[in-house]
Amino acid sequence: MNRVIVSLECGVCRNRNYSTTRNKRTHAEKYKIKKYCPACRRHTEHKESK
C-alpha cells in the first residue's frame, strides 16, 4: 500500500482545509496547489502537511 492520506494546509493561515490521498511512488515530491481557504476567504497556496 503506497497510498497515504495527506492534509493540505493553507500557506497563509495554516488551516488544514483539505485532505487528499497521494501515491508515494508516482508523486514523490510534495505538492502545492491553489485552493480556496475559508479562513482567508480567498484562494491561497496550499501545501501538504503531515
Q: How far is the CB of 26 from Zn ion (least distance, A)?
A: 28
Dihedral, 46, 14, 39, 24 alpha carbons, nearest 10: 30
**Which range of residues in 1-9, 13-21, 24-32 is near Zn ion by CB under 5 A?**
13-21
β-strand pairing of 3-10 with 42-49: antiparallel
The smaller minimum CB distance to Zn ion, of residues 4 and 12, is found at 12
Q: How big is the site for Zn ion, counted in residues (CB under 5 A)?
A: 7
Q: Does residue 8 belong to the site contacting Zn ion (CB under 5 A)?
A: no
Burial of 10 (0-12, 13-18, 19+ CB in 10 A): buried
Please give the residue ranges that form the binding site for Zn ion (CB under 5 A). 10, 12-13, 15, 37, 39-40
